[in-house]
Amino acid sequence: YDPLANRVQCSITTLAIECGLATESAAGKLSITRATRALTFLSELGLITYQTEYDPLIGCYIPTDITFTSALFAALDVSEEAVAAARRSRVVWENKQRKKQGLDTLGMDELIAKAWRFVRERFRSYQTELKSRGIKRARARRDADRERQDIVTLVKRQLTREIAEGRFTANREAVKREVERRVKERMILSRNRNYSRLATASP
């Protein structure tokens, strides 16, 4: 929770995993239904605001906007003065960090806008890595029953295709090292059989 932006600074998937509300099927499909139901209920009680938004640029939903209402703070016996003080303290801390980096200080409104942009920008940049990890998990399941030589053959075939398409350019020794690296990675992932997403929550 960021008192400056008054929002939860993580994706709902991360929130569901960290709160123990995520489930995963035998096929590896992650479900956050219990978390979304809990958030909807809290929203209906007026304790939080809960909004989802689809981003066509990345083809998925961006981190859900979850903010706390005054009713929630009242239920937790946290005064409005304490909330305002926490926000001011965060402004001071943020500007101290900016000074250390040689940047100009910003007003509260500017810092609030920056805090709101932070999660979305980080989420977008994380999608490439997340997609890559998902592909590796799926491939590890398929590799589990394959012999090492079978994986070597598949890696060489994949790398040959990348070279032909111009996505990988290097000399013969570099290609050999890349084959060894990919084979080693796939062997490790396929043999440890840890394909679960429940232990790999994103920021």
Q: Per mean pLDDT, which of 12-21, 102-111, 121-130 is the most reliable? A: 102-111
Higher pLDDT, 33 or 129: 33
Q: Read off the pLDDT of each residue in 67-74 and give the average, rounded to a whole number.
A: 94
Residues 189, 140 contacting (CB under 8 angstroms)? yes
Residues 21, 27 contacting (CB under 8 angstroms)? no
The strand pair at 65-68 and 60-61 is best described as unpaired
Is the confidence at residue 64, as pLDDT, over 70?
yes
> Residue holding tokens 């066509």?
56
The pTM of the whole model exceeds 0.85: no
| Residue 142 pLDDT | 80
The 10s digit of each residue's pLDDT in 150-188 is: 889 998 998 898 888 888 877 888 888 899 988 888 888
| Residue 49 pLDDT | 92
Domain boundaries, the chain: 12-192
Q: Give the three-class secondary structure for 5.
A: coil
